[in-house]
Amino acid sequence: MIKYTTPSMLRADFVIMKVLHESLSGLQPYTILKRSKLSGEIFFKVFSALAAKKLIIERDSLIHLSPEGRAVFLAGSGRVLSGRKSWRQVPSDMKGRKILLGDFYVPNIYLLD
């Protein structure tokens, strides 16, 4: 069994492998990109890494999971958990003052619709 050493890319690896596992006859790279909902930069990094590890193969301009890739996916698909999404964290300089429970709040009338 192949062990992954970079857990940050682990989820993206398995997202692409899941999309390929669910397809019956392989997919084009653009279709995989759209179905995986990854950014282009992450997709191409992970896609290149999977191709270098020979976990995905190309046949007739379609991308398929290799037998080794299918085994890796099935062995590790139950252990992938959703993690912390760094893009959801609001930067501290963007956060305003917290309104206390007892404070009065008067909205700006010009900013209301």
Residues facing residue 58 across a β-bridge: 63
What are the residue boundaries of the structural domains of the chain, listed by start?
7-80
- The backbone region for 61, taken as left when phi is positive above 0, alpha when psi lies in -120 to 50, beta otherwise, is left
- Residues 101, 47: Cα–Cα separation, whole Å: 49
pLDDT of 4 > 70? The answer is no
Q: Model confidence over 52-107: pLDDT tens digits?
A: 988 888 888 898 988 888 888 887 765 554 566 777 888 888 888 787 888 887 88
Contacts of 98 (CB under 8 A, 6+ apart): none
Q: What is the pLDDT of residues 13-44, one digit of tens each?
A: 888 888 888 888 888 989 988 888 888 888 88
In whole angstroms, how large is the CA radius of gyration of the chain? 21
CB-count burial class (<10 Å; 0-12, 13-18, 19+) for 30: exposed
Strand segments (E) across the chain: 56-59, 62-65
Q: Which amino acid is at 109?
A: I
Are 66 and 58 in contact by the 8 Å Cβ rule? The answer is no
Do the Cβ atoms of 46 and 9 come closer than 8 Å? yes
Q: What is the CATH number of domain 7-80?
A: 1.10.10.10
Full-prediction pTM beyond 0.75? no
